[in-house]
Amino acid sequence: MARYVLRRILLALPALLGLVLLTFVLVRVVPADPAAMLAGDAATPAQIAEIRARYGLDQPLWQQAVTHVRQVLTGDLGSSIFSGRPVVEEIGFRLPATLELTFVALLLSVVLGVPLGLLAALDHNGPVDQIVRLLSVGGLAIAGFWLAIMLQLVFSMELDLLPLRGRMDVALGNPPRFSGLFLLDSLLAGRFDMAGNALKHLVLPAVTLCLPGLASIARFTRSGVLETLQKDFVLYARAAGYSPFRLATIYVLRNAVTVTVTQVGLLFGALISGAVAVEAIFDWPGLGTYAVQAILAADYKALLAVTLVVGVVYAVVNVLVDVVQALVDPRVAEQLK
């Protein structure tokens, strides 16, 4: 098992190195020149050139790439050109916010998606199945940014139930920083008022973000369950008089878990992408808003770092997913050998 895990990690490494290079090429070819922005309004072209030289922006692109890769390998992502602070520190603040949001959204999709998929499978081709399908496919079809604005208007403005923006009421301050996940940190600090408040702030963005995930998990659970229901051992059990519901929950669902776990890995990437628009609208200070700000300001150091971090998170999640899958179903590990 340990060997499998190791092999899985080693397989991810070249992909990450490739990612570093690819992002560099993409981001650095962006024509926006931070030097002109830094120098300000009344700067002369000579002053701009001087700043460009100071930040190494005048070197040939390949040389900048080599420097960049070397820095990244030593764990140094550089400083944001605009804020002047180490990018690692800024991402340290932003990443937990995004992780908290995506994790809760993922949880919602699983908690709602699996039962829906199960119900649909049990009523295969029946009315429940069709309704669930329509709903879940509809979830995949709604533009998150549009839904987000609608939810704000209904639940914050009209019904006055939930906050519009941010992670916590301003008056409450922030919980003591431990993991950066406000929900967890508040609970650890015993501040239940803060945890409740953080939860309230999470509702709208997480609901918006969870819909596509919910839809695909429901769909894959459905087909996983259907497939398992055809298996011989289930047919025997059925013949032995087990009710389909009991069968479904005990045997079938366990088998369907494998399918769901795989989906979680794939979904994670989609969730982080989706977070860009959702974070912007709910003013969630995560990586998505950071990326947008970096793009608007041509802060390529920050942009490179975000892309890289998201890539790494994605790779880690997928390694984890594979490992979990191998634990649930030893055949997976066999296959890889």
Residues of span 44-83 touching another protein by CB under 8 A: 44-45, 47-48, 50-51, 79-80, 82-83
The 120-159 contact track toward another protein, x by CB under 8 A, reads: ----xx----x--xx--xx-xxxxxxx--x--xx--xx--
Task: Choose which of 115, 180, 244, 285 interacts with another protein (CB under 8 A).
Answer: 285
CA-nearest of 276, 271, 316, 256 to 106 is 271
- Residues 298 and 30: beta-carbon distance below 8 Å: yes
The reply to whether 305 sits near another protein by the rule CB under 8 A is no
Q: Which of 57, 226, 257, 332 binds another protein (CB under 8 A)?
A: 226
Instruction: Name the burial class of residue 319, with classes exposed (0-12), middle (13-18) and buried (19+) by CB atoms within 10 angstroms of its CB.
Output: middle
For residue 286, what are the contacts with CB-CB under 8 A and spacing of at least 6? 94, 95, 97, 98, 101, 275, 279
* Binding to another protein, residues 254-283 (CB under 8 A): 269-270, 272-274, 276-277, 280-283
Q: What would the two tokens of residue 107 be?
A: 């949880």
Residues 91, 214, 212, CA angle at the centre, nearest 5°? Answer: 65
Does 39 bind another protein (CB under 8 A)? Our answer is yes
Residue 99: alpha-carbon gap to chain centroid: 6
- State how far Cα 234 lies from the chain centre: 36
Report, in Å, the least distance between residue 328 CB and another protein: 20
The Cα diameter of the chain in Å comes to 87
Binder among 18, 56, 126, 330 for another protein (CB under 8 A)? 18
* The amino acid at 280: A
Q: Which of 210, 248, 310, 333 binds another protein (CB under 8 A)?
A: 310
Q: Tell me: does residue 112 bind another protein (CB under 8 A).
A: no
Tokens of 271: 């969730």
Using CB under 8 A, which residues numbered 163 to 202 contact another protein? 163-166, 169-171, 173-174, 187, 192-193, 195-197, 199-200
Q: Does 235 bind another protein (CB under 8 A)?
A: no
Which range touches another protein (CB under 8 A), out of 17-25, 67-75, 101-109, 235-243? 17-25
308 close to 76: Cβ distance less than 8 angstroms: no
| Shortest CB 253 distance to another protein, Å | 17
Verify binding: residue 31, another protein, rule CB under 8 A: yes
